[in-house]
Structure 1
Amino acid sequence: MALRSPELRWLGSLTRPGRLAPSPLAALASPRRRRRAPSPSQSPSSPSPSDSSTPSTAPASAGAPGAEGFDGPEWKKVSAKRFGIKESMIPAEAWNVLHRLRSRGYDVYLVGGCVRDLIMKKTPKDFDIITTADLRQVKDTFSGSAVIVGRRFPICHVHENNSIIEVSSFYTSARGSSGSQIYNSKSQNCSKNDFVRWKNCQGRDFTINGLMFNPYSEKIYDYLGGIEDIKKAKVRTVIPAGTSFQEDCARILRAIRIAARLGFSFPKETAYYVRTLAYSVARLDKGRILMEMNYMLAYGSAEASLRLLWRFGLLEHLLPFQAAYFSSTRFKRKDKGTNMLLVLFSKLDNFLAPNRPCHNSLWISLLAFHESLARKPCDPLVVATFALAFYLGGDMSLAVDIGKSINRQHDTGFPELLEPKVWTDKHLAGEVQSFAALMKRALTEMTDEYHVANAMAKIPQAPSSDLVFIPLQAYLKVLKFIESVQYGKKERGYEPKRDGMINYHNLSNGTHAEITNLFTLVVFDTLYPTDMEDEDGCSS
């Protein structure tokens, strides 16, 4: 950053993306003993979708017109080797769950997004399992480390080390119908085992999430055309999009999240209903909205998520202050340009990944930080010194010393940043504290129903809403960060990071030092981008 002060060691300890933090992919690729276990005897109590069945013809109902108006796809059973999927790509925690269930005679499959990601050679966020055991049998298998959760779609959370493996049952998804009723309704040309797998896939949200993978036989089952949609880079609903989103409007947010993360697009019908039914997401439980928003903003695809939320009319329901910013700056729905809010979150994305997320207090801090700048543009030195004080836990004197030593050209493309001026130490510290007070006010208003409703009123043709989903605990956490700067008092016992490493476990848990460390890096990367640093070097 070309800082002159000897205090550069403080800022120099901030971690750069991808340089010092080791990638978890290295651990997954390390040598491991072969995990394939001998095939146990099958449970005689009930028929199961084992891999012994040969590929068969789809039932007559599968060929009826479905989602997007096309005929049902041809059923496929594909070797995982075709996609380069290896045993080492599945973490030990998932293998442990697979082995223990299989050793009791149950069939087990990896299912959903993890199969999609393995096919695409991406690191899955998590590994979900489906089994022929019912949930009570799953819980008994992992006595003391498993709990059944969920009302509408019950699943079993199995705790393995520091991970949670979600296990669902074929027979839970068939609730309300007896096994004989299911099997009697199949086509004569369809095997019983294929039908059970197909029936479960019919309840999935998107075709690319309707894939099953047996890691023992190394076979991938595709009953919905998911592999073809991966090739086409499409997020397509399993049933007609309008019906799917009305059944569960959370699927709208999941569609945005998946498209943003994978860089996929929507077929016309899906896009139409995402936009048309956007208003319905406000009916979701606030905890569910927070979970989906955290998946979008904390796992490495925040910029793309914000773009899609704005494009399809969802941002005004979920983040109305940020939607008002897009509207006031005349940022078009399909605009391919950028702005400071998007740049901030693109810089955050550089540090994160599906298996390396951050705590929600970090992206909430960035939203409040930018909202403050959008309301009252500031001198870039004030902004940089604020970020340093944020990192130093409120040590204003040291933050001012380091800030005034910065000799870099800031990005002049943001209207939120004013022309720089010369500051005395006292006046600079005062401006930083004033900015902290403004950020505190922005944070408070973002979490207040009255002010949210007023923000909605500023957006042309926006519906009336006072939705607030940011929880009190997260609000208080961010408030503590801000007040340490506002009052210029270093928090007792707090020490900023000095080791140059991002501890992603602590980052996801919201450790103070990790949050402030990464916040400051994101702000500095936005103010002083590396491409401008290269230009400065060439000109000198």
Structure 2
Amino acid sequence: MAISSLSFACRPSFPFRPSLFHRIQKVRFSSVAAIKTLDVQENVIKGNSRNLGDFKAPEWRKLSSKELGIGNSLISGPTKKVLNGLKKNGYEVYLVGGCVRDLILKRIPKDFDIITSAELKEVVRAFSRCEIVGKWFPICHVHIGDTIVEVSSFSTTGRKLKVGLRNDIGCPIDCDEKDYLRWKNCLQRDFTINGLMFDPYKRIVYDYMGGLEDIKKAKVRTVIPANISFQEDRARILRAVRIAARLGFRFTRETAHFVKNLSHSLLRLDKPRIMMEMNYMLAYGSAEASLRILWKFGLLELLLPFQAAYFVRDGFKRRDKRSNMLLCLFSNLDKLLAPDRPCHNSLWVGILAFHRALVDQPRDPMVVAAFCLAVHNGGDILGGVNMARKITKPHDTSFHELTKPQDLDSEVLINEVVDFAASVKQVLSWMTDEHYVSLAMAEYPQAPYSDLVSTFFFLFLFPFPSEAMFGFDLSHPITKN
């Protein structure tokens, strides 16, 4: 029912939720809030060459998890088993990163990350199904039933720090040995709101990077100066977009400046990393807000030039709060998804192709409805046509992708649906064709051309033929039966 509902329930929805606990106020949870980023003039950001020696970490503090409204009941069962297994063996264990942030915000974490005082080999010995993965930054994958729980070690993160760029930052005052280990690990996090550590046994949240204050202010801020942070890992630009979109947070002034001005460094990222980050943006319930932020900061034309070209032709401004059909499609998809309930990447790729086909050739609303219902019913076009004729709710007449309704008889309607299905399949082919990608880029001349996008879609679509994405074989004529 996903795609069928996307075609008609297209009024934008910008829900606002109340504050979640008494210490964190005025946190906005909407796609509108996510794009209200501070205006930045070129002369506002000073010290672009600022190094880590100029960086002063905020005062650290620890708070009761009860005071922050965190209960252990929110921790998943598999995660608890791993925590308990390590604790019983005498090791220190903490939850760390985005899961702590989400627990504070009463959100369901996408996953739980554990860090422990145990060596990775000791973690392997503690669990029957566990292996060490990763070369640059090894961690343990602990298998609990069908769930994988990731466990890292303080000793591993300590070795990583020695080869990083953060050696000049002084240790915070009044730190004992355990505080120093926790602080050193949090220092390696990407954003302050991900630099929180939670001891579920002592029920204490440790904040060495000012993350709680930034949660309170609904801000995304890099742990170290943004220019250096994004040089360490260019993909953090996309992670910043994803986090801001999902939480409805805004970038700090410095972070916003370098998201925009270092955006072209994304072209040097490995394609699999870009695909992973794009999937996190579009498949986990914050696609609409992600697209808005990508457009606002000039990233959309680098990653999705077909969609950027559509925004240009639609007259969509960088700071536009209105909506269009593409944003409405993803807004309705977002309502069906959550961080712990994502869709398959072939669905959002299919939506991009579906919309592009309508942009290239607007269709009668009844044709679109019948197509969507046929997809929902496994390719039964006749059934889709019969169901579409029962729709009484009027379509949104503001969408240029839909023509004025006509009184189509069943035979013509079926043929139109077949033709539309073939158009969607053709668009899927174009999205992996260098020539058509270059044409799309030409519609947005400010964007430099690269093979990033064609490779991106090819790798995504190769395992997912169009018939698998849309429920019927588009390569053969579709009959009434």
What is the deviation of 1:483? 7.7
The aligned residue for residue 82 of structure 1 is 67
- In the alignment, structure 1 residue 484 sits paired with structure 2 residue 472: yes
Farther off after superposition, 123-132 or 463-472 = 463-472
The aligned residue for residue 346 of structure 2 is 361
Which whole-Å CA distance do the structure 1 matches of 2:216 and 2:172 have between them? Answer: 29
What is the deviation of 1:490? 8.5
Aligned-partner SS, 1:167: strand
What is the deviation of 1:418? 0.4
The aligned residue for residue 447 of structure 2 is 462
Aligned-partner SS, 2:205: strand
The aligned residue for residue 45 of structure 2 is none
Query: Counterparts in 2 of 1:76-155, with a 5 A limit?
Result: 76-143=61-128, 145-155=129-139
- In the alignment, structure 1 residue 313 sits paired with structure 2 residue 295: no
The letter for the 2-side match of 1:171 is S
Query: Counterparts in 2 of 1:239-388, with a 5 A limit?
Result: 239-388=224-373
Farther off after superposition, 209-218 or 437-446 = 437-446
Q: Is the Cα contact below 8 Å between 2:95 and 2:114 reproduced in 1?
A: yes
* CA distance 1:214–1:163, shift in 2 (3 Å): same
What is the deviation of 1:173? 1.1
Aligned-partner SS, 2:62: strand
Which whole-Å CA distance do the structure 1 matches of 2:477 and 2:388 have between them? Answer: 15
Query: Counterparts in 2 of 1:501-540, with a 5 A limit?
Result: none
The aligned residue for residue 233 of structure 1 is 218
- In the alignment, structure 1 residue 420 sits paired with structure 2 residue 420: no
Aligned-partner SS, 2:464: helix
Q: Is the Cα contact below 8 Å between 2:284 and 2:343 reproduced in 1?
A: yes
Q: Is the Cα contact below 8 Å between 1:66 and 1:72 reproduced in 2?
A: no
Computing the radius of gyration over CA atoms, which structure comes out larger, 1 or 2? 1
Please give the TM-score of this superposition, normalised by the length of structure 1. Answer: 0.75
What is the deviation of 1:177? 7.3
Farther off after superposition, 167-176 or 400-409 = 400-409
Which whole-Å CA distance do the structure 2 matches of 1:271 and 1:83 have between them? Answer: 28
The aligned residue for residue 166 of structure 1 is 150
Q: 1:273-320: per-residue Cα shift (whole Å, max 9, x none)? A: 101111112222222111111111111111000000111111111111
Which whole-Å CA distance do the structure 2 matches of 1:192 and 1:365 have between them? Answer: 52
What is the deviation of 1:474? 3.7
- In the alignment, structure 1 residue 193 sits paired with structure 2 residue 183: no
The aligned residue for residue 431 of structure 1 is 416
Q: Is the Cα contact below 8 Å between 1:298 and 1:363 reproduced in 2?
A: yes
Which whole-Å CA distance do the structure 1 matches of 2:464 and 2:303 have between them? Answer: 21
What is the deviation of 1:331? 0.8
Which whole-Å CA distance do the structure 2 matches of 1:425 and 1:491 have between them? Answer: 10
What is the deviation of 1:140? 2.3
The letter for the 1-side match of 2:86 is L
* CA distance 1:190–1:392, shift in 2 (3 Å): closer
Unaligned stretches of 5+ residues in structure 2: 10-49
Which whole-Å CA distance do the structure 2 matches of 1:277 and 1:412 have between them? Answer: 39
Which whole-Å CA distance do the structure 1 matches of 2:315 and 2:173 have between them? Answer: 59
Q: Is the Cα contact below 8 Å between 2:283 and 2:348 reproduced in 1?
A: yes
Aligned-partner SS, 1:294: helix
Q: 1:485-526: per-residue Cα shift (whole Å, max 9, x none)? A: 64454899xxxxxxxxxxxxxxxxxxxxxxxxxxxxxxxxxx
Task: Choose from 366, 375, 397 the match for 1:390.
Answer: 375
State the superposition RMSD in angstroms: 2.5
The aligned residue for residue 41 of structure 1 is none
Q: Is the Cα contact below 8 Å between 2:418 and 2:478 reproduced in 1?
A: no
What is the deviation of 1:66? 7.9
Q: 1:421-449: per-residue Cα shift (whole Å, max 9, x none)? A: 01121111111111111111111111233
Identity %: 56
Aligned length: 426
The letter for the 2-side match of 1:154 is P
